[in-house]
Amino acid sequence: MPALGNPATWRTHPQRFKGFLYLLSPTVAARATVASSISFPVASMTISFTSGSAADVKTGMTVLFGSAAGADDLGRQRVRSMSGTTLGIGQSSQGTRRGEINASAGSHVTFLDLREAWAKVPRFDGTTDYKDYDIPVGTYGTNKPPIANAGSAVLKIVTGTSASISFDGTSSIDPVGGGLTYAWDFVDGTPSTSSSATPTVSFPTGFRYARLTVTDGASHVAYHDVPVAVINKDDAINATISRRSLSKDGGQLSARVLDNIPESSYPEGTLVLYAEHEWYSTTEDALAGPSGREQVRFVGWLNKTQSTIEGTEDGLRVITEIVADDIGTRLAQLLGFSQLIKHSTTPTNWRRMNTPNLRDMLSYLLIWHSTAAEITDLTFAASVEDWVFPDLKAEENNLYAQVDGLARAIPATLTCDQRGLLRVVYDPILQETGDRTSTVIVALDEDDYTEIDFTKNHSPAVFWIRGEMVLSVTDLSSISAYFSNAPGSIPGQGGTKSTFNKQLVTSQTQCNQRLGQFYARSNREYESVSLKLAHGNDAGIDPALYEWVTLTLSAAYADKRGLTFTTTRALVTEVDISYDMDAQRKEVALTLEIETSGTAGETYYYPKDGEIESPQYSIPTWPSMGAWLPEFPAWQFDA
């Protein structure tokens, strides 16, 4: 691909691409039958192996229950534990959909070497709270568990029979410091194990998972399974890629498959990898990137299939449309369980932490309520961990919304990029202008797009915003709530209802600045901007990275109202790619949010009179404030 900062090549040379879609059929690790009676809800059972053994079963694998060997008509779950003949699974109600089982004594059990995003369901037995069914919240100890990070999925497309792959585990997280030890397990790799943080391994063609296990100084353990596919380019599925969509929350891939993909070989949840190779001359360039990650454009799981039987001059033809979801989309399908974490200098359970911060809370949600941290790369913006609060709360209905809602309080956001990496990154439009990233991934001018649509607002959407923000301080016993108005002073009636951590700040100045940026975004001049790129190259744009593009629309192309753009910065919020596989061309459409910048709000002090609500936090001393906290009208903006 030409350098992103210099698009002259893609403007003057024909762009071509090839797409490589791989449905990675999971291997059967072991088979068994249920050897005990089952009562629901169920989280463990006795099984009798018919092939393989307990040593072949790993935590995180997918387990199918069926009326015949290999079938999943009685449900599917994840392996929570395997000891001897006792199988622990995620707690399941009675049913046959994903996450449920309807098995009984004699039902067939099939273990697939497949990792998926599963919910970990908390449990209360009337006396004790448990995480993931059997871990009491009182087993906190004095340390916070690490997070293993083995990097993103590897897809190495080769013309031979093997490939060398480099791994890097140094992005693993040790919340309390002290250092980590590394233990790698490489199925059919050479070497097969390693204690290095950055090993290099040779793999034959095929598909497997590599596991990184990290251990901290207090013997807390975490693991990460990363898919590794070394595949000959001629083994790609014969398919027409219909569409690929990207947003900051993740994406989907749709494809029209022409090969036979029997459900027995490619069940629901099959791992889907898609790579693209682009070139800009009459001769196709070399194919594979050095690490096997550069050309990956989608990592996800087979979710939906739709089959059509149509008549042709040669007879009936069966066409199958598939839709695959990535990790971001999957997390939005998992339940969110309301959680409140409080500060304690001597924590005795998982709901108490010594100086809790955002990184700890987000890690808590992803580690204890899903398998996300075990199957994908997870990184945080560096200063996410620095702000300390007396309590943090998550109440949204799904897990993605819970993590994203907490991240927005600082103001960051949870994103999922096209390689399936989860990141907590800052939203630059809510940062002060001087703190915003300066990275511009590509400059777009009239030569780069064939169509542009934009809507201009001529009056404010809101006239003022009043916000409450919670202050992070060193002394957690003197936590305060800060209040601000934007764009300035307004009549003093009403306010916003006091809430947990809707916005988190470190000073009154930061509170005022933040609210000013909220106000500017709410009243942005351009409601929406969308365009279609002329050259069919997405230029490496990924909404999850929160990088700028610049947009130019000169006076020569001004609309009838005379509106223009001059290297105007914007964030790409959505990318929609449709494919013409026969012509080896793509059509790329972008949706943009034009950068806004607001004037700081003004400090607001509550009137003594009004509807009263007891404050959740102490209020900064001010002669006219007293100790009253009026309830804000529900219709006002909740910052």
Residues 6 or more apart in contact with residue 260 via CB below 8 angstroms: none
Q: Are 469 and 505 contacting, i.e. CB atoms less than 8 angstroms apart?
A: yes
Q: Note the pLDDT of residue 17.
A: 72
Q: Note the pLDDT of residue 2.
A: 38
d(CA 298, CA 276): 9
Q: Note the pLDDT of residue 359.
A: 84
Encoded amino acid at 69, one letter: A
Q: Which pair of structure tokens corresponds to residue 584?
A: 């080896």
Q: Note the pLDDT of residue 607.
A: 58
Look up the pTM and report it. 0.87
Instruction: For residue 632, report the phi and psi dihedrals to the nearest 5 degrees.
Output: -85, 145
Task: Tell me the average confidence (pLDDT) per consecutive run of 10 residues in the chain, 639 residues long.
Answer: 45 64 92 96 97 97 96 95 97 92 97 95 89 83 82 88 93 85 96 97 95 92 95 77 87 84 85 80 54 83 82 73 92 92 85 84 90 90 76 90 91 91 92 89 88 83 79 69 76 46 82 90 88 82 93 85 88 90 77 94 68 46 35 30
d(CA 552, CA 564): 7
Closest listed residue to residue 359, CA positions, set 381, 376, 332: 381
Which CATH number is 154-233's, of 1.20.1250.20, 3.90.1300.10, 3.30.413.10, 2.60.40.10?
2.60.40.10
Q: Note the pLDDT of residue 158.
A: 85
Closest listed residue to residue 89, CA positions, set 98, 76, 106, 102: 76
Residue-wise DSSP of 412-448: EEEEE-TT--EEEEE-GGGS-GGGS---EEEEE-GGG
Q: Rg of the Cα trace of the chain?
A: 27
d(CA 286, CA 22): 19
**Domain parsing of the chain, residue ranges:** 154-233, 331-421, 433-457+524-594, 465-522+605-630
Place of tokens 């100045």: 509
